[in-house]
C-alpha cells in the first residue's frame, strides 16, 4: 500500500495528487460551513474526514462532487483546474460519492438504481434491460450481498438502501470513492465485506475519502486523518500519530470519559413483559422483562429480527403467538394507536426518511408529537409554549441551528437525527424503544445523548435500545439481549460481559449466518 | 409476481373497463356494434394524444395545464394561415405546421421552467391565459367553417368502412393511427432511452438526478416541447374531425385529460405512470361518457358519474399504498400524525 509510505516532498505531492482542494470556503445564509479548507488526496490513499455534527464534512464532499459551488478556493482534479465543477465533470474524472442520505431514486428498481448512473456517465442513449440487470448483479456480487433486483427501492429496508447506494458507487471504475457515513445502517458482516472491497480497490490505486463517526472504523481504514471543527481544519495527519482519545479530543476540544449506567436493580413489577412472542418469518419465542429504570439493549446482525421485534411491540407488525404484558396486565398492541395508548414510544431506524418532514421547520418537527398538549382551551396553539418546548430541546440535544424556523433539511445529517429524537423524547412515553439512537451522531454528542437516556431511565422509564454499537450498549445498558436468526441467542448482565466477549458472540453469529465459502 | 401484477393500477382500470363494457353491452346491445366502437375510437383519439403528453409531464413531477391552449392556438393559427395563402395541398402540411407551432409554444413553457426554475403549474397556468388571450385578440375569435380543401376533406379520411345490417355505413377514422403511433413512440422513449429514464429519475428525486449528472434543463426542454408537439397535432386532428376551426374550443378540457391520466396510474407527485395505463384510463373515461348517452342518462349526470369514477379510481391506490406502507414500515409518521389529529 502506497498510502502508508512516509510523506514525499511537496512538489512530488502536488504532481502525484489525484485531488487537490485549495483554500475552500463556503457559507450558507450567514453560517460559515467551511472556512479555508485545503485537502490533498493521492491515489491509493485512504483519507478519513472526522468532525462533530455540522462541522462541514458533507458540505466539503458536495463541493468535491460538484453539487455545491464553493464561495472561494479552487479544485484541481487529475491536474485539471476547475473554475466551476459540475456533477458530471466530477463523475467523469472518476469521483464517486455515497451520500449520507443515499440519494437514490425511490421510484426505480434496485437494478436500475445501481446501473443508471453508470450508463449515464458512459453516454448510453438506449437502455437495454438485460444489461441493467447484469451491471447490478455484478455490483452486488462484488460485496457478496443478495438483493431482489426488480423491487422498487422505496420498499426496501434502510440497510438495503445503503447497500444499493454502495453498489452504485462501486460499479463505476472510480478513482476516488467518497463515503459519507456509508456504514450507518450496516452491521458487522456487511461492514467487513465493504472494507474488504475497499482494500482491494485501494491496491489498484483507487483513493478513498471516508467519513464516519465510528472511530474504530476510522482508525482501521485510514492512512491519513483530517479533523475539522466548525468548518476549519484542526489537524491533517497520518493515522499513526493518532489514537481514539486524541481523535476525540481534536474533534470536540475536550476529553470525553463516559461512565457506565449506574443501574440499581429493583423488584418492582415489570413495565413490559414479553412471553414466547413469535411472528412467523421474523422472530420466534422471545421472552424478556423490562422493569422501571432498566435500559435493555438488543443487538444482532441484519436479519436477526431485532427491528421486527421492536415493530411488533409498537403494533406495526402483527404477532402470531405469545403474550405482551404491560404493568402485569395482558395488552393487545394491535396497532400504533394502541401502542401509544399503552405509553410506548418508538424512534424508528430509518429516521431520515421515516421520521422527519424535511421541508417543514425544525420547530414544527419537534412539536408534532405533542401538539395536543400545547393547545390552549379552544384548540388554538400556544405559540409561547411551542417556543419554550422547542428551545428546551434544541438546547438539551445541542441541535446546531441558528434558527429553529429553518426547514429541517438545512441541518446536517447528525442534527436531523437529533430532531427526531427530540420529537419522541418530548412525548414522554413510559416505555421507550430506541432503534439505533446515536447512529450518525458524533462522539461528543453521543455521550450527551447517553446521559439524557440514562436520566430518563432514572426517572423510572423503561428503555429498549437496539444498537450494533457495542461500546454504546455497554455504557448504556444494564442488560443486553443478543438475537440471532429471530431467536434469543444470549442474555448478558452488563458488568459480567466485556466488549471483547460481546463482539466475539456477535461475530460468532456472523460466521454462522454466512454460508460456507 | 402475480400479486404485483394484480395490485397495479393498470390491472384495476383494465378490469373495471371490462366489467363496464359487459354491463353496458348487456343493457344496450348497440354498444357492441362496429359503429359504436369506431365512434369511441374517434372520441378517444384526441384525448389519448393529449393524455400521453400529460403522462410525460406527470412522470417528471411537473404538471401542464396549457396544452389545450397550445392545441387550439396551433390549430386555429394554422387554419388562418393556410386560408390566407390559399393552400390547396393535403392534410399533412397542416399537421406539420400545427405541430411546429405547438413545439414553439412548448418551448416557451420550457424556457420559464428550466431557466428560472419556476413551479410548472404556475408557469403553465400563466401561459394558458397568455396563449389563449393572444389567439383571441390578435389572431381571431370567429368560428371558421370555410376551411382550406385539405382540412375540409380530412373528416372523411376513413381507414375502412363497413355497412351494418341496417344498411348504415360506418368507418374507422384514420386519425386513430396517430394515437397508436404516438403511444408507441412514447413507450419507446420512456422505457428504452436514457432520455425517458431521466424523466422518471427527475420525477423520483430531483436532487438525486442532479447529483447523478443528469442535465435537468435538457430533460425539461424535451418534455415541454414534446407536450407542445402532441398538443399541436391533437388540436389539428380535432379541427379536422369537427370540420371547423373554433378559437373558443378545447380549452377547458385539460383537467379531464389530467384526471384520465391519473386514473390510469400516473402519479400526480411524479415518478410513476405508464403508456398502457394512460390508454386504459382514457378508454375508460371515453366509454363511460359515450355510454351514458347510450343508456339514456341525462348529460348533467354524466359529469357527476365521471367525477365519482375518477375520485374512486384515484383513491383506491392511495388507500392501498397507505395500508402497504404500514405493513412495510414505511411512512409510519404520516399515519401517526393522522391518528393524533
Ligand atoms: N442547504 C443548506 N442550507 C443552510 N445551511 C446548511 C445547508 N447545508 C448545510 N448547512 C449547514 O452547514 C453546516 C455544515 O453542515 P454539514 O452537512 O456539512 O455537516 P456535517 O459535518 O456533514 O455533519 P454530520 O456529521 O451531522 O453529517 C451545518 O451547520 C448545516 O446546518
Ligand atoms: Mg454530514
Q: How confident is the model at residue A456 (pLDDT cuts 50, 70, 90)?
A: confident
**Model pLDDT, residue B341:** 33
**Model pLDDT, residue B322:** 62
**Model pLDDT, residue A2:** 40
Owning domain of residue B197: 2-340
What are the grid coordinates assigned to A304, written together? Answer: 436477526
CB pairs under 8 A between A and B: 103
The DSSP element (H or E) to which A242 belongs, if any, is: none
pLDDT digits (tens, 9 = 90+) for B34-89: 888 898 999 899 999 999 999 999 999 999 999 999 999 999 999 999 999 988 88
Can you tell me the distance from the alpha carbon of A346 to that of A429, in angstroms, rounded to the nearest whole number?
9
| Residue A97 contacts B where some CB pair is shorter than 8 Å | yes
Contact A462, A292 (CB under 8 A): yes
pLDDT > 70: percent of chain A: 94
DSSP A298-342: EEE-TTSSHHHHHHHHTTSS--SEEEEEETTEE----SHHHHHHT
Query: How far from A161 is each of A109, A154, A166, A188, B207, CA to CA, in Å?
Result: 11, 9, 9, 17, 16
Q: How confident is the model at residue B1 (pLDDT cuts 50, 70, 90)?
A: low
Q: What are the φ and ψ backbone dihedral angles of A409, each rounded to 5 degrees?
A: -75, -10
What proportions of chain B, in percent to the nearest 5, are helix, strand and coil?
75, 5, 20
3-state SS assignment for residue A28: strand
Residues with CB under 6 A from ligand 1: A 28-29, 31, 33, 51, 53-59, 100, 400, 410-415
Smallest CA-to-CA distance from A65 within A218, A224, A180 is with A180
| Residue B8 contacts A where some CB pair is shorter than 8 Å | no
Least reliable range by pLDDT among A169-183, A402-416, B89-103: A402-416
Domains (ranges, CATH) in chain A?
1-85+215-255 (3.40.50.300), 265-343+431-510 (3.40.50.300), 353-428 (no CATH)
Can you tell me the distance from the alpha carbon of A382 to that of A389, in angstroms, rounded to the nearest whole number?
11
Quote the Cα angle for A115-A192-A493, to 5°: 130
Answer left, alpha or beta for residue A148, where phi above 0 means left and psi between -120 and 50 means alpha: beta
Name the one residue in this structure whose C-alpha cell is 439481549: A481
pLDDT digits (tens, 9 = 90+) for A78-100: 999 998 999 999 999 999 999 98
* Cross-chain residue pair B213–A91, CB shorter than 8 Å: yes
* Cross-chain residue pair A336–B197, CB shorter than 8 Å: no
* Cross-chain residue pair A116–B197, CB shorter than 8 Å: yes
What distance in angstroms lies between residue A357's CA and the mean position of ligand 2's atoms? 18
Q: How many helices and strands, by DSSP H and E, does chain A display?
A: 18, 20
* Cross-chain residue pair B196–A116, CB shorter than 8 Å: no
Can you tell me the distance from the alpha carbon of B92 to that of A287, in angstroms, rounded to the nearest whole number?
77
A-chain residue closest to B335, CA distance: A336
Can you tell me the distance from the alpha carbon of A87 to that of A72, in angstroms, rounded to the nearest whole number?
18
Q: How many independent structural domains does chain B possess? A: 1
| Residue B336 contacts A where some CB pair is shorter than 8 Å | yes
Full-prediction pTM beyond 0.80? yes
pLDDT digits (tens, 9 = 90+) for B93-117: 999 999 999 999 999 999 999 999 9
Better pLDDT: A512 or B140: B140
pLDDT digits (tens, 9 = 90+) for A267-315: 788 999 999 999 988 899 999 999 999 999 999 887 788 889 999 999 8
pLDDT digits (tens, 9 = 90+) for A379-398: 777 788 888 888 998 888 88
Smallest CA-to-CA distance from B98 within B58, B154, B43 is with B154
Smallest CA-to-CA distance from A350 within A116, A162, A152 is with A162
Going by C-beta distance under 8 Å and a sequence separation of 6 or more, which residues neighbour residue A282?
Answer: A305, A308, A309, A312, A317, A486
Instruction: Tell me what the mean pLDDT of segment B232-252 comes to.
Output: 92
CATH number at residue B146: 1.10.3470
Smallest CA-to-CA distance from A427 within A336, A301, A310, A298 is with A336
Q: Which ligand is nearest to the CA of A62?
A: 1
| β-sheet with A80-82: strand ranges across | A31-41, A19-28, A72-77, A80-82
Q: What are the φ and ψ backbone dihedral angles of B85, each rounded to 5 degrees?
A: -85, 0
Query: How far from B82 is each of A346, B94, B146, B147, B245, CA to CA, in Å?
Result: 70, 8, 11, 9, 12
pLDDT digits (tens, 9 = 90+) for B12-23: 889 988 998 898
Which one of A103, A154, A368 has the shortest CB-CB distance to B211?
A103
What are the grid coordinates assigned to A344, written together? Answer: 410506548
Better pLDDT: A238 or B9: A238
Amino acid at each position: 500500500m502506497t498510502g502508508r509510505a512516509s510523506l514525499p516532498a511537496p512538489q512530488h505531492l502536488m504532481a502525484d495528487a489525484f485531488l487537490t482542494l485549495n483554500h475552500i470556503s463556503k457559507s450558507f445564509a450567514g453560517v460559515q460551513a467551511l472556512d479555508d479548507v485545503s485537502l490533498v488526496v493521492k491515489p491509493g490513499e485512504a483519507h478519513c474526514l472526522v468532525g462533530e455534527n455540522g462541522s462541514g464534512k458533507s458540505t466539503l464532499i458536495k463541493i468535491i462532487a460538484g453539487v455545491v459551488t464553493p464561495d472561494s478556493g479552487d479544485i484541481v482534479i487529475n491536474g485539471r483546474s476547475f473554475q466551476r465543477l459540475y456533477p458530471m465533470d466530477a463523475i467523469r474524472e472518476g469521483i464517486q460519492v455515497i451520500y449520507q442520505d443515499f440519494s437514490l431514486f425511490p421510484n426505480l428498481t434496485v437494478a436500475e438504481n445501481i446501473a443508471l448512473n453508470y450508463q449515464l456517465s458512459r453516454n448510453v442513449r438506449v437502455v437495454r434491460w438485460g444489461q441493467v440487470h447484469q451491471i447490478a448483479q455484478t455490483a452486488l456480487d462484488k460485496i457478496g450481498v443478495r438483493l431482489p433486483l426488480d423491487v422498487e427501492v422505496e420498499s426496501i429496508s434502510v440497510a438495503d438502501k445503503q447497500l444499493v447506494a454502495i453498489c452504485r458507487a462501486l460499479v463505476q471504475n472510480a478513482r476516488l470513492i467518497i463515503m459519507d457515513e456509508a456504514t450507518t445502517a450496516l452491521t458487522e458482516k456487511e461492514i467487513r465485506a465493504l472494507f474488504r472491497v475497499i482494500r482491494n480497490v485501494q491496491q489498484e490505486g483507487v483513493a478513498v475519502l471516508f467519513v464516519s463517526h465510528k472511530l474504530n472504523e476510522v482508525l482501521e481504514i485510514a492512512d491519513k486523518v483530517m479533523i475539522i471543527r466548525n468548518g476549519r481544519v484542526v489537524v491533517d495527519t497520518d493515522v499513526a500519530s493518532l489514537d481514539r482519545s486524541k481523535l476525540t479530543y481534536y474533534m470536540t476540544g475536550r476529553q470525553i470519559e463516559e461512565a457506565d449506567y449506574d443501574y440499581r436493580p429493583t423488584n418492582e413489577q415489570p413495565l413490559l413483559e414479553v412471553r414466547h412472542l413469535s411472528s412467523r418469518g421474523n422472530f420466534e419465542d422471545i421472552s424478556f422483562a423490562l422493569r422501571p429504570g432498566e435500559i435493555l439493549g438488543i443487538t444482532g446482525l441484519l436479519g436477526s429480527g431485532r427491528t421486527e421485534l421492536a415493530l411488533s411491540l409498537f403494533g406495526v407488525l402483527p404477532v402470531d403467538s405469545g403474550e405482551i404484558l404491560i404493568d402485569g396486565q395482558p395488552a393487545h398492541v394491535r396497532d400504533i394507536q394502541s401502542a401509544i395508548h399503552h405509553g410506548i414510544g418508538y424512534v424508528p431506524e430509518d429516521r431520515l426518511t421515516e421520521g422527519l418532514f424535511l421541508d417543514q421547520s425544525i420547530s414544527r418537527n419537534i412539536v408534532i408529537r405533542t401538539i395536543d398538549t400545547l393547545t390552549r382551551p379552544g384548540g388554538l396553539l400556544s405559540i409561547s409554549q411551542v417556543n419554550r418546548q422547542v428551545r428546551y430541546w434544541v438546547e438539551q440535544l445541542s441541535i446546531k441551528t441558528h434558527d429553529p424556523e429553518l426547514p429541517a433539511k438545512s441541518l446536517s445529517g447528525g442534527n436531523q437525527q437529533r430532531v427526531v429524537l427530540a420529537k419522541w423524547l418530548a412525548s414522554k412515553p413510559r416505555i421507550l424503544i430506541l432503534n439505533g439512537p446515536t447512529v450518525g451522531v458524533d462522539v461528543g454528542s453521543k455521550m450527551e445523548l447517553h446521559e439524557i437516556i440514562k436520566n430518563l431511565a432514572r426517572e423510572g422509564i423503561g428503555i429498549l435500545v437496539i444498537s450494533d454499537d457495542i461500546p454504546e450498549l455497554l455504557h448504556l445498558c444494564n442488560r443486553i439481549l443478543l438475537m440471532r436468526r429471530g431467536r434469543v441467542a444470549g442474555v448478558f448482565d452488563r458488568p459480567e460481559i466485556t466488549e471483547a466477549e460481546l463482539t466475539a458472540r456477535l461475530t460468532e453469529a456472523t460466521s454462522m449466518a454466512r454460508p460456507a465459502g | 409476481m402475480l400479486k404485483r401484477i394484480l395490485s397495479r393500477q393498470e390491472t384495476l382500470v383494465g378490469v373495471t373497463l371490462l366489467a363496464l363494457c359487459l354491463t353496458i353491452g348487456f343493457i344496450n346491445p348497440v354498444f357492441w356494434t362496429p359503429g359504436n366502437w369506431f365512434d369511441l375510437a374517434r372520441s378517444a383519439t384526441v384525448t389519448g394524444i393529449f393524455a400521453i403528453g400529460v403522462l410525460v409531464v406527470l412522470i417528471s413531477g411537473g404538471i401542464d395545464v396549457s396544452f389545450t391552449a397550445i392545441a387550439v392556438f396551433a390549430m386555429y393559427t394554422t387554419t388562418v394561415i393556410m386560408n390566407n395563402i390559399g393552400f390547396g395541398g393535403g392534410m399533412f402540411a397542416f399537421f406539420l405546421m400545427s405541430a411546429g407551432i405547438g413545439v414553439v409554444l412548448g418551448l416557451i413553457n420550457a424556457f420559464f421552467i428550466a431557466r428560472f426554475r419556476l413551479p410548472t403549474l404556475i408557469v403553465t397556468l400563466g401561459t394558458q391565459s397568455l396563449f389563449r388571450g393572444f389567439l383571441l385578440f390578435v389572431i381571431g375569435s370567429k368560428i371558421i367553417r370555410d376551411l382550406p380543401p385539405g382540412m375540409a376533406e380530412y373528416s372523411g379520411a376513413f381507414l375502412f368502412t363497413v355497412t351494418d345490417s341496417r344498411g348504415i355505413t360506418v368507418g374507422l377514422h384514420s386519425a386513430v393511427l396517430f394515437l397508436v403511433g404516438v403511444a408507441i413512440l412514447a413507450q419507446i422513449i420512456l422505457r428504452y432511452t436514457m432520455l425517458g429514464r431521466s424523466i422518471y429519475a427527475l420525477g423520483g428525486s430531483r436532487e438525486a438526478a442532479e447529483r447523478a449528472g443528469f442535465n435537468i434543463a435538457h430533460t425539461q426542454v424535451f418534455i415541454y416541447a414534446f407536450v407542445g408537439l402532441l398538443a399541436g397535432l391533437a388540436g389539428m386532428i380535432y379541427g379536422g374531425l369537427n370540420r371547423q376551426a373554433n378559437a373558443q374550443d378545447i380549452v377547458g378540457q385539460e383537467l379531464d385529460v389530467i384526471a384520465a391520466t391519473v386514473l390510469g396510474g400516473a402519479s400526480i407527485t411524479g415518478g410513476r405512470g405508464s403508456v398502457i395505463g394512460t390508454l386504459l384510463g382514457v378508454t375508460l373515461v371515453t366509454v363511460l361518457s359515450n355510454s351514458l348517452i347510450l343508456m339514456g342518462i341525462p348529460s348533467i349526470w354524466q359529469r357527476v358519474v365521471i367525477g365519482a369514477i375518477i375520485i374512486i379510481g384515484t383513491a383506491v391506490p392511495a388507500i392501498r399504498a397507505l395500508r402497504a406502507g404500514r405493513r412495510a414500515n414505511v411512512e409510519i409518521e404520516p399515519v401517526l400524525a393522522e391518528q393524533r389529529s
